[in-house]
Amino acid sequence: MVKERETSSLTPLRAARFAVSSLALCALFLPPHPGFAQSAQNSTSSSTPGYSSASGSQSYGGSANAQQLPENGAVDGSDLANPPAYQTSGTPPGSNQQAGTTMAAGATEQEPSSETTGSILDEDIRRLNTREPAIDDRRAPRRLEENLTGQETPGIRVGTFVLRPSVNQSINTETTKEGETKETRSFAQTDAYATLTSDWALHQLIVTSQGTWQRNVSGTGEEQPAFDIDGDLRLDLPDDTVAHIKGGYRFYREDTDDPDAIADAEQQSDVQEFSAGASLERDFGILRATAALDLTRTIYSDAVLSNGTRISLSDRDRTSGTFLARVGYELSPALIPFLEASVGKTVYDESRDSAGFARSGNSYGAKAGVEVDLGEKLKGEVGLGYETASFDDSRLDSIDTAIVDANLLWSPLRGTDVRFDLSTSIQPSTTAGQSGYVSHELTTALTHQLRDNLQATVLGGVILRDYPSGGSSDETVYTASGGLTLNINRYLDFTSTLGYELTTRDVGADSQQWRAGVGLKLKR
């Protein structure tokens, strides 16, 4: 007789086996608890905690001393009372403590989270083989052509330089009236401008040049050619020291309204100026020191009268030199008060001019002011001082004058720039018995971007020529002009100008001049 299977409740032995089997299955298929993972990571144990399989059973911890379940799955009562030890942290699964863990066999490895790697770090910081720049590589990133605005040109690369040339061809009309005499002319004018800028890792060389050529088409009037070229080599030296080496050449024809011009000349004198200079700037903490030396050589050609007679002006040829020293105190990067002193000397090629006066002499000056740098909104400097000039000839009185100098660039709003220049200087004279005159010159320039491709420019100025001795007539020159520039494309502009000039004299007739023109500007 077959004995029926016992269907009563589980015996204690069977219950123990069922519990152990369930625990093993949970350990095999369930992922580790996050709290247990973080607890193991923070543990001082040198072993890496995790799940390891051995003979089909599971044990917590990486220690070799972890207790293993019997192969047959049988445990006694003592085993239930003393479960396997957790060697790494002493914290069983399910605890609130956090630790890192190694995945169980068959589980997928995951990437580290931002909590462990730091999500704020970029890719270059985590790389070990990043490329290091050159020690002296201070150059700014080159601008690609596609990053330029519609008004900018990429220029022409010449070796390590970038050349940006432009040529403006215009047709103009001019009317000049002096007393009862009136002259009108139409002329073609070519204006050329170019900048050559180095693209070096250290130091910089900038060469700028501009020239004007005129050709009368109809009417009468004197042509006014001009040419300028200047070079500035900046040397970046150690210990916050910067040196500049400069050189330049200027050619122009003396204006008929100049007080030293020859009256009734068919062609005024052509003037050539050669200049050279060097300066050294250094920062001493909050102090900034500058020392500069400038030399100028001026040569005059003959003036031509209406009857063809040539008048030599070689007695005006001279060489001038000026040494300047400045010390500034940095209250802040935006505000630097300064003190400046200068000494100069002028030597004429001929000891006495055509009237018998020895015009060589010395000059001295001092000035106090402040440099302002508020970024794009306002930058420049303003200074007040005193200057005196003496001459070798005792018959020529010295000239003393107060100095008011300023050059400011102000941008009240985007697309609008205002430039303000004020200067005071002592100029020589060719009139017998006259030492010279003091020139006070004020000029302003306003540019406004009306549209993306349309810019308006307004210029204005006043020049006061004051003769201290009173032997000659004082003069005041007023100038005003305006113009529009239309950008047809990046390489071509349409230009138009309209200007007026008035010269008033205490003694003698006033003179006026009107000028208007249109042109095309080609740039690269």
- Render each residue's pLDDT in the chain as its tens digit; 524 residues: 334 444 444 444 454 555 545 555 444 444 444 444 444 344 443 433 333 333 333 333 333 333 443 444 443 443 433 444 434 334 444 444 443 333 333 444 444 443 333 333 333 333 334 444 444 444 444 444 444 555 678 899 999 999 999 999 999 999 999 888 889 999 999 999 999 999 998 999 999 999 999 999 999 888 899 999 999 999 999 988 999 999 999 999 998 888 888 888 888 999 999 999 999 999 998 999 999 999 999 999 999 998 889 999 999 999 999 999 999 999 998 999 999 999 999 999 999 998 899 999 999 999 999 999 998 899 999 999 999 999 999 999 999 999 999 999 999 998 899 999 999 999 999 888 889 999 999 999 999 999 999 999 999 999 999 988 766 778 999 999 999 999 999 899 999 999 999 999 888 788 999 999 999 999 99
Rounded Cα distance between 398 and 389, Å, is: 6
Check residue 204 and give its pLDDT. Answer: 96
31, 101: one domain: yes
- Considering only CA atoms, which of 387, 298, 302, 394 is closest in space to residue 346? 298
Check residue 508 and give its pLDDT. Answer: 79
373, 511: one domain: yes
Q: Is the residue at 6 inside a domain?
A: no
Q: Is the residue at 258 inside a domain?
A: yes
In CATH, what number is assigned to the domain containing residue 282?
Answer: 2.40.170
Rounded Cα distance between 493 and 152, Å, is: 11
Check residue 138 and give its pLDDT. Answer: 43
- Of 107, 135, 169, which residue is a domain's last? 107
61, 191: one domain: no
Check residue 66 and give its pLDDT. Answer: 38
Check residue 391 and give its pLDDT. Answer: 95
pLDDT in tens, 401-438: 999 999 999 999 988 999 999 999 999 998 888 899 99
157, 102: one domain: no
Rounded Cα distance between 57 and 24, Å, is: 7
Rounded Cα distance between 384 and 85, Å, is: 89
Residues whose CB falls within 8 Å of the CB of residue 230, separated by 6 or more in sequence, listed in order: 207, 208, 209, 246, 247, 248, 275
Q: Is the residue at 330 inside a domain?
A: yes
273, 421: one domain: yes
Q: Is the residue at 4 inside a domain?
A: no
Q: Is the residue at 321 inside a domain?
A: yes
81, 161: one domain: no
Check residue 148 and give its pLDDT. Answer: 53
- Of 47, 77, 107, which residue is a domain's last? 107
Check residue 145 and give its pLDDT. Answer: 46
86, 176: one domain: no
- Of 53, 81, 107, which residue is a domain's last? 107
Domains: count for the chain:
2
Amino acid (1-letter code) at residue 303: A
57, 174: one domain: no
Q: Is the residue at 5 inside a domain?
A: no
Host domain of residue 295:
153-523
- Check: CB of residue 76 under 8 Å from CB of residue 17: no
304, 165: one domain: yes
516, 456: one domain: yes
Q: Is the residue at 140 inside a domain?
A: no
66, 158: one domain: no
Instruction: Tell me the torsion sign for CA atoms 421, 377, 198, 200.
Output: positive
Q: Is the residue at 400 inside a domain?
A: yes
